[in-house]
Each structure stands twice: as structure tokens, then as C-alpha cells.
Amino acid sequence: MNVATEPAIVVHQLSKIYEVPERDPGLLAAVRSLFRRRVRAIPAVSAVSFTIQPGEVVGFLGPNGAGKTTTLKMLTGLLHPTAGDVRVFGYIPSRREPAFLRRITLVMGNRNQLQWDLPALDSFELLRAIYRLPPAAFRATRDELIELLEVGHLVRKPVRNLSLGERMKMEIIGALLHRPQALFLDEPTLGLDVTMQRRIRAFVAEYNRRTGATVLLTSHYMADVEALCRRVIVIHHGQVLFDGPLHNLVDQFAAYRKLIVTLSESGSDLSRFGEVIDQDGLRYTLRIPKATAPAVTARILAEVPVADVTVEEPPIDDVIEQVFAVGASH
Ligand SMILES: Nc1ncnc2c1ncn2[C@@H]1O[C@H](COP(=O)(O)OP(=O)(O)OP(=O)(O)O)[C@@H](O)[C@H]1O
């Protein structure tokens, strides 16, 4: 059997154009719009293509409005594509076949699927019935997830009384009870504090390791992406700007390097070598265009008394900003 080598997700020339009714303000315009409807076309996703292998954890990045959520909705069958093809484990998502739905899950950081007034435990039972999970397997998965996320003491409290982070953990458990093989996570750590973000992140990594699930994740927290995703797909204005290993993104788009120079004695002006972005005693941080970093480092070593010098890549957030800036100017 060759099933294992089949890609988990194949997206080919995928497009989505939203059609939004449009009318001028005022009563007359309202009446007129009854007779002649005007619609505005909003291209949210334009000819996007990518393939994801089983077990990959891929970061899906882009600024607000780039088309990430729209793509995830098409991948999970909540939206019909305007054009192009999507296959997830060979299924066409928009058909929403039960066998497909049992293999995927969509977690949206800003939306709840659990019943607000019930304890999470009751909602989990409901999900067991919906997915027709065998009781023993359901209990084993539920308890494993509860333990992994350390929420045993909270599952009997009404969801409305939980904190945002606790609720998010319950949402994640609810989303994974049927042991999906593809996880679509849309901002799963949105609004959570750093500790909770780290927990959720560790949990996703562990779930991927234990089950070999494929994960496509959007997040505005680059720490999530750095910790989890070796590969990233960057979209902007509905188009793919980059698809590859995260470190290639840094190589390709990091426009500058940070040079950290510690002088052995005071009295030198380092601003002639580049933009000084920080100074702490004898320790200077300079921002140098990537291309000239080696030459500038050599000049500093030759011309001023140096105790130490290191070259650093800019933080990933800055790199991503740079990618978006390049995308915006296209
Ligand atoms: N239901 C809708 N009707 C009309 N336009 C929409 C609809 N949903 C999204 N859009 C538009 O489509 C574009 C892509 O939106 P989408 O939500 O996919 O972006 P996103 O990358 O997920 O953004 P964010 O990071 O802000 O969540 C945006 O211009 C948005 O305004």
C-alpha cells in the first residue's frame, strides 16, 4: 500500500471572491436597491496552491485580511471555493462528508463551540454522540487530553465561569475528541498570556508527535510559529508570497543584521559604521544592511578597540514585517 505517501492536503489554484451587496446611504437608495442589486466583488484568495504532507506542521502567515481564515474555511468545507481545487485526504471538503469531518478539526481562537452554560464534560458527551464515538475509546481520549492539558479540576465547572485560557483548553479538547488527523488551527493562542500560549504550543507539538497529525496553524504570535513550524506559507492580498522552511524566509527577507559591539575603552563614535539602535555603557547595538555586514564588521575590528563583537539575525517578527512590506509594494 502506498497510502502513507499521499499528500494530506493539496490546494491548486484556489480562489475565493466574496460578493458583498452594496448601496448608497439613504432611503431612496434602499428602495432603489430592491430593484437593482449592486454587488462588489472582494477577492479574498487568489490562485493559491500548496501541498502538505501527512505529519507536517505548517505555519500559515499573513497580515490582517490576507485570506488565511478564508483559506482555512475552504479547507474545512465551511466555504465553497469560487475556483480551484482542494483535497484533504482525498476528500473534497465542501461536500462535508461524515468520513471527512471525522478526520479533521477546525479550532478558531475567537469562536466557541462548547455550550456556554454547561460544564465542559457535558459538551464532550454531546460531541461523543455527534461523532458516534465508541464509549471506551472516547473516554480514553478525553481523559488523555484532560491530563495533557491539566484541566481535570475544571471540567465540571460551567464553561462561562472559566478564564479565557481555560476555556481555550476545553475548546481544544472538544475539537480533538474524535482524534482528527488534520488540525486547522486559526489563532489558537489568541489573547492568552505567555505561559498559556506556551502550554498550548507544547500540547500541539505533543499531539502531532503522538498521532502524526497534520497541522496548519495561523498565529500572530511568531513564538508559536517558531516553536512549532519548520515550514511556513506566507500569504498577502490572497496570494502566496513565500512557501518554504522558516530559516529560508529569514535568509531571504532579513534585510539587515544586528551587530553587537562591546568596546574595550570609551571614546569611539560608532555611528559612522551604521545606525546605533541601542547603547548600554560600552556595549553598542548597530543595525547594518545585510550585504555590508561582513565588511563593516572587519572595519570596526580594524578601527576601534573592540572587546567583543557578535552578529545577530533580526527577530523573526521584523523579518515577517519585511516580507509583508515587500508584498505590499508588489
Ligand atoms: N464574509 C465575508 N464577506 C465579505 N468579505 C469578507 C468576508 N470574510 C472575509 N472577507 C474579506 O476577505 C479578505 C480576507 O479575509 P480573511 O478573514 O480570510 O483574512 P485573514 O488573513 O484571516 O485576516 P485576519 O488575520 O485579520 O484574521 C479581507 O479583505 C476580508 O475583509
Is residue 21 domain-resident?
Answer: yes
Grid cell locating 45: 484568495
Task: Name the residue at shortest CA distance from atom 1 of ligand 1.
Answer: 18
In this predicted structure, what is the pLDDT of residue 21?
Answer: 81
* C-alpha span between 174 and 170 (Å, rounded): 6
- Give me the interface pTM, i.e. the ipTM: 0.96
- Number of domain units in the chain: 2
Q: What's the pTM value of the predicted model, to 2 decimals?
A: 0.84
Residues with CB under 6 A from ligand 1: 18, 20, 42, 44, 62, 64-70
Is residue 157 located within the same domain as residue 264? Answer: no
pLDDT tens-digit profile of 70-105? 999 999 999 999 999 999 999 999 999 999 999 999
Q: Taking a C-beta distance cutoff of 8 angstroms, is the pair 225, 219 a contact? A: yes
Is residue 215 located within the same domain as residue 231? Answer: yes
* C-alpha span between 34 and 149 (Å, rounded): 53
Query: Mutate which of 16, 70, 222 to test ligand 1's pocket (most atoms within 8 Å of Cβ)?
Result: 70
Task: Name the residue at shortest CA distance from atom 31 of ligand 1.
Answer: 65
Is residue 323 domain-resident?
Answer: no
Residues of the chain with pLDDT under 50: 1-2
Is residue 200 located within the same domain as residue 217? Answer: yes
Parent domain of 306: 255-312
In this predicted structure, what is the pLDDT of residue 1?
Answer: 45
CATH number of 243's domain: 3.40.50.300
In this predicted structure, what is the pLDDT of residue 4?
Answer: 53
Q: What are phi and psi of 204, to 5 degrees?
A: -60, -45
How remote is the CA of residue 45 from the centroid of ligand 1, in Å?
9
How remote is the CA of residue 330 from the centroid of ligand 1, in Å?
20
CA torsion 137-100-181-146 (nearest 10°) is -40
Q: How far is CA 132 from the centre of its chain?
A: 30
Task: Name the residue at shortest CA distance from atom 6 of ligand 1.
Answer: 18
Is residue 34 domain-resident?
Answer: yes
* C-alpha span between 212 and 55 (Å, rounded): 5
